[in-house]
Amino acid sequence: MSQTTIFEVMSGLCRELGAINLGQGFPDMEEPPEVIGAAQRALVERSNQYPPMRGLPELRGAVAGMYGVSAAEVIVTSGATEALASAILALVRPGDEVICVQPLYDAYLPLVARAGGVARLVNLRPPAWSLDLDELAEAITDKTRLIILNTPNNPTGTVLDRATLEGIGALAQRHGIYVLSDEVWEATVLDGSKPLSVLDIPSLRERSVKVGSAGKIFSLTGWKIGWAVAAPELAERVAASHQFITFTTPTPLQWAVAEGLALGEAWFAAHRARYVESKARLVSGLTQAGFCVLPCAGTWFVTVDLAASGLPAQDELLAQRLVREAGVGSIPVSAFYADRPERGYLRLCHAKRGETLDQAVERLAGFRAGFV
């Protein structure tokens, strides 16, 4: 639990070795000047003192407007990670079981353990990385308190469809289970479609907490502005927990995100277009170089099937060799598992400038061609 995350380890190695970092998920493109400008103005013209505990009314209103919910259902947090922590600490009691779906974001398991919960793991199945409802149902016991979902999923980029979400809703209703849905990648579905949320599914609406992140929406990962959205009674409990974790979240950045969310669909479409381009560039480069890239609807990542690319299905070894020998950082997908990991896939971040991606592809192609 005290282990350093793979993202930190790989970014550290990239810095030390001067490698191109396609490991950790952060963009190296121009940061949105409209939103940066709003933050600069907010620092000078607005308050730098404590905002209300649940967030600035302007930001809560903007988030509520985006999702078609009431502002009373929105709690602004210090990144999605704090929303996850607040929800898990609010809902999970010692001895409760929490179903987590692998591959999973690395914060879930330590947070469940910290709440005294016991994680039960189910797996998405490659290559489509789909969730098997029967497997999920089998993992439910009379101690199950919470199911944690992540859609679109990091690292695989898959989105849960209506039938699956409704199936989860039926199970959750039948067994009296809460659902925590990590939807931080919601704005990154590159065909422009809006992925379904737990907020859209009637059977899940009253028993779910949805988590979002401005860091992902605006490509400003260091801002750490997120939110939890839930029906009023649940929101109350999440707020009570948030109150004694960070209490509030930096005021000027909340102003800036509220302004950013009002930028309008044309702005968001143009912002998304950068990632459509970066993904296409990385995927076509890798494919031409003989790598097998799995389909992926959203996030800033693609996954490479190592065996289908003519490489050994040993993702950790490959990630180490790639960063040291080819000078490209990646993340082994097995790092997103606590047990029975899939070892045959590497995650690469495409949210980079064209020249960075071209250079990375050249290095990866050379590594593959000369692989022994």
Ligand X SMILES: Cc1ncc(COP(=O)(O)O)c(C=O)c1O
Concatenating the DSSP letter of every residue in 8-27 gives HHHHHHHHHHT-EE-SS---
Contact assessment for residue 88 and residue 146, using Cβ atoms and an 8 Å cutoff: yes
Nearer to ligand X, 188 or 309 (CB): 188
Nearer to ligand X, 154 or 303 (CB): 154
Q: How far apart are CB 150 and ligand X at their closest, in Å?
A: 5
Report d(CA 222, CA 252) in Å as an integer: 14
Binding mask 13-52 for ligand X (x = CB under 6 A): ------------x---------------------------
Handedness of CA 217, 160, 79, 237 (dihedral sign): positive
Report d(CA 157, CA 188) in Å as an integer: 9
Q: How far apart are CB 241 and ligand X at their closest, in Å?
A: 16
What is the CB neighbour count within 10 angstroms for residue 341?
A: 18
Binding mask 154-193 for ligand X (x = CB under 6 A): x---------------------------x-x---------
Does 213 sit near ligand X (CB under 6 A)? Answer: yes
Nearer to ligand X, 86 or 309 (CB): 86
Among 79, 117, 157, 341, binds ligand X (CB under 6 A): 79
Residues of this chain, 92-121, that bind ligand X according to CB under 6 A: 105
Q: How far apart are CB 231 and ligand X at their closest, in Å?
A: 21
**14 contacts: CB under 8 Å, gap ≥ 6:** 20, 21, 23, 323, 329
| Residue that is written with structure tokens 């009674």 in the block | 233
Does 252 sit near ligand X (CB under 6 A)? Answer: no
Residue type, 145: R
φ/ψ of residue 208, rounded to 5: -120, 150
Interface with ligand X (CB under 6 A): 25, 79-81, 105, 150, 154, 182, 184, 213, 215, 221, 224, 226
